[in-house]
């Protein structure tokens, strides 16, 4: 089951990363659609994120195939998903009717992309739970046992 989760998350991250790596300017436009300004730097972060984020997604996807790096990769993938959930949630709360920008702007991307909304948040939450599962399953045996023992404190 863990291997299937790793394969699914890696496939999604690669499908998301490749079109954005090939056309970072289109991805920068998708980021700009969220209309987020950071204190002091405003929207000057957009081009850096448009280059860095897809590269990180690709590295995470490839690392999920490695037994040595799967735990770290699932942690980073999960943190990215939490960030995506927050960004999509704020866009929904502000009433923005935009594409999520998850898969860039190519033909495949247009078929896979969707508007921001509750459905997208739930989808990302499911992916996040898969990351948690991988992270937990890849913990050394003693750590898993300790985590289960700690739950008995609340009983």
Residues facing 99 on adjacent strands: 115
Averaged over successive runs of 10 residues, the pLDDT of the chain (155 residues) comes to 94 94 91 84 85 97 95 96 95 92 73 82 96 91 55 49
Asked whether the beta carbons of 78 and 131 are under 8 A apart, the reply is yes
What pLDDT is attached to residue 153? 47
* pLDDT confidence of residue 113: 67
Number of domains in the chain: 1
Q: Closest Cα partner for 21 from 146, 79, 86, 106?
A: 106
Tell me the whole-structure pTM to 2 decimals. Answer: 0.84
């Amino acid at each position: 089951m863990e291997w299937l989760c790793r394969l699914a998350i890696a496939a999604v991250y690669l499908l998301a990363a490749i079109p954005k790596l090939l056309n970072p300017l289109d991805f920068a436009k998708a980021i700009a659609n969220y209309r987020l300004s950071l204190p002091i730097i405003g929207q000057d972060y957009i081009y850096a994120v448009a280059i860095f984020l897809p590269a990180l997604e690709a590295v995470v996807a490839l690392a999920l195939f490695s037994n040595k790096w799967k735990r770290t990769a699932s942690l980073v993938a999960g943190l990215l998903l939490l960030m995506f959930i927050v960004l999509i949630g704020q866009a929904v709360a502000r009433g923005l009717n935009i594409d999520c920008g998850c898969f860039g702007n190519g033909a495949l991307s247009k078929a896979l992309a969707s508007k921001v909304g509750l459905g997208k948040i739930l989808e990302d939450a499911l992916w996040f739970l898969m990351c948690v599962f991988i992270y937990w399953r890849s913990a050394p045996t003693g750590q898993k046992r300790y985590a289960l023992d700690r739950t008995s404190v609340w009983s």
